[in-house]
Chain A
Amino acid sequence: MNGPAVKLLAALIALCAGAAAWLVIALLARSTF
């Protein structure tokens, strides 16, 4: 469970979460402006 591949996969999920948060905010900004 703690292998490098699992860690990399988890890190990519975290990165996608960050990108998804920006997507949510971009859609909010589009409806605001």
Chain B
Amino acid sequence: MRRRRRPLLVVLAAAAAGLALPPSAFAHAALLHTSPSASVTVPRAPDRITLTYSEPVEPKFAIVSVTDAGGHQITAGRPTRSPTNADELVQRIGRVPEGWYLVFWRAISVDGHPVRGAFTFAVGPNPGPAPQFVIPSISETAATPVLLVFRWIVFLTMMSAIGLFVLRTITARPLVRTLRGSSLRAIAGAFWVSLALALVSIPLYVYFATAKFSLRSTTDFAGVFPLLRSSAFGRGFLDLELALALFALAAAISLWLDRPDRPVRSVAELLASAGAFAAAAACLLVPGLAGHAAQTSPRGLTVAADWIHLAAGSIWVGGLCGLLVLYRSTAELIRVAALSFVVPRFSNTAFASVNLLIASGIAATLVHVPTLASMWQTSYGKTLTVKIALLVAAGMLASVNLARTKPRLQAAAAHPGRAAGAAVLLRRLVGGEVVFVFGAVFAAALLSSLAPPSKALAKIGKAEARVGPGAFSRHVTKDGYDLDFRVSPNRAALPNSFVVRITKDGKPVRNASVVTRFDMLDMDMQELSYSFPERQPGVYSRSAPALVMVGHWGLQYQITIPGQTPIDVLLVDRAAG
């Protein structure tokens, strides 16, 4: 009884440890505060612009542009980090006359995703009317084709190498002493090729990504090299390179010491294998630590789920590659016998791995995807749907192998003819599985380059209406009150006019409290909240740059009429650039 309870206790302890880790605030850097404040008129010209974010922002990757109404740049030097607050960027500006100014900023989040935004301010006392500024594009993505291909190669080669090592040192190892003339050298060779490709592709990926994030040319070596470890993303993947190099050292020693013809391993063999597996396990933690998992609460559990997902995927994909290598490298005379031994053993491992892959994938989906609809309404959800479809297709081929090919290979001694046909079928099915799983790894590379949907999306189901793009006026009747909502011009990064008109039986409702919360729905971002003062009887309004970026926004109006229950109205707005 005590033995049965032990695994449960271990799982509970791991869950408790995971939940005990400090929760993350936001998935991406969000601008919390600016000085001067957005859309205000300051009496004297400031000598600097300060931008306070929700997390530390590396100034080497940041851009802060300040331009006047004529589009002239007025910044002096590059942005620097505030000596007193790591989350604050300071941009010095020259002496400026009265008038309106546009601040455009770009920063890199901890997970490597670029974020952009813009706001205006005026220098008074008489700045004049606000001009129509031309705002640079405020949408930017980390998922460019070149970076995506590099990310795919990094994931694929690392996972294949680890899976091939597991196949060589555990699953297929007894083959040598069971079947005379068989060899595991080709599997070891495939392992070294995969590992070498991973070790080459990781620094190249970090280099190209750093050049892209710092908006530098890829030939600007002197400019890009000093920045490689300046971002959390760069540090994470360069640490992966180091851990993978340590894995290569431990694996080389482990394979050198290994004598697969002996049934019992020596102490030295066991120690070397333990070192290699420990290093491999450490490597698989990095994508979670440098990606979305470490930025999503509860972080301990999301990082653990990501690690299990990658480990299970590695055993599956590496094992499949290893089976193809074994098929091609084994002499025809003993091929069926070799597969008859290795395939049933691998099937058991792969079955367990696929189950762990599904369980950890479901856990990650529940954390990252707030609503079922976001599976087809957001880029992240669509990519995840494609990944699941590819894995289901691979799983169907695997189930045919499990149900048809494996039993025939196991019965090779009794029915040699059927087993030979089964070996050919196995090669074809495993080839198909490899194509689907490689596609799923590509989808995973894209998935980890996209911002997960915002938790605020969960509120969309309760929305009274969908509005925008462009200026809108929407009438809602709730609790006997007529509510008219207007937003114009409903464009991102500009001061928008937000108006709420409240009437009951045709008469204006006075002295109400109107507070509006703005939630970015396309990615996690700091929620903004504004109170709307009553400008005319029953008309509550405010001009604010609340829609700080292009995309879907949840506008949550809370209207409190004296002596009444508060009225909540949610509009889902699409702000254009």
Chain A positions within 8 Å of B, measured between CB atoms, are 4, 7-8, 10-22, 24-25, 27-29, 31-33
Contact = CB atoms under 8 A, between A and B. Distances in A.
B411 to A, nearest CB: 40
B283 A21 contact: yes
11 contacts: A18-B275, A18-B277, A19-B275, A19-B278, A21-B242, A21-B278, A22-B278, A22-B282, A24-B282, A31-B232, A33-B299
A20 B320 CA distance: 30
Contacts of B236: 28, 32
Given A18-B278, A19-B275, A19-B278, A8 B268 contact: yes
Contacts of A17: 246-247, 249-250, 253, 275-276, 279
B264 interface: no
Contact of A14 (B235, B239, B272, B282): B272
Interface string B294-321: 1000010000000000000000000000
B399 interface: no
A11 B279 contact: no
A33 B256 CA distance: 38
Contacts of B253: 10-11, 13-14, 17
B428 to A, nearest CB: 38
B239 A12 contact: no
Contacts, number: 107
A32 B288 CA distance: 11
Contact of B267 (A11, A21, A29): A11
Contact of A21 (B243, B270, B299): B243
A11 B282 contact: no
Nearest to B283: A21
B231 to A, nearest CB: 12
Contacts of B276: 14, 17-18
Q: Looking at chain B, what size class is its interface with the partner chain?
A: 35 or more
A12 B267 CA distance: 10
Given A11-B275, A21-B246, A21-B278, A33 B294 contact: yes
B275 A15 contact: yes
A17 to B, nearest CB: 4
A32 B232 CA distance: 8
Would you call the interface of chain A mostly helix, strand, loop, or mixed? Answer: helix
Nearest to A23: B282
Instruction: List 5 tightest A-B contacts by C-beta distance, closest first.
Output: A18-B278, A18-B275, A14-B275, A11-B271, A21-B279
Contacts of A32: 110, 232, 236, 289-290, 294
Contact of A18 (B267, B274, B299): B274
Given A11-B267, A11-B268, A33-B22, A25 B243 contact: yes
Would you call the interface of chain B mostly helix, strand, loop, or mixed? Answer: helix
Interface of B: 21-22, 110, 232, 235-236, 239, 242-243, 246-247, 249-250, 253-254, 256-257, 266-272, 274-279, 282-283, 285-286, 289-290, 294, 299
A20 B257 CA distance: 20
B279 A18 contact: yes
Nearest to B239: A28
A11 B246 contact: no
Contacts of A16: 275
A25 B279 CA distance: 10
A17 B243 CA distance: 9
A10 to B, nearest CB: 5
Contacts of A7: 257, 266, 268
A11 B266 CA distance: 10
A19 B274 CA distance: 10
A22 B280 CA distance: 10
A15 B274 contact: yes
B243 A11 contact: no
Given A4-B268, A12-B271, A29 B250 contact: no
Contacts of B268: 4, 7-8, 10-11
B277 A10 contact: no
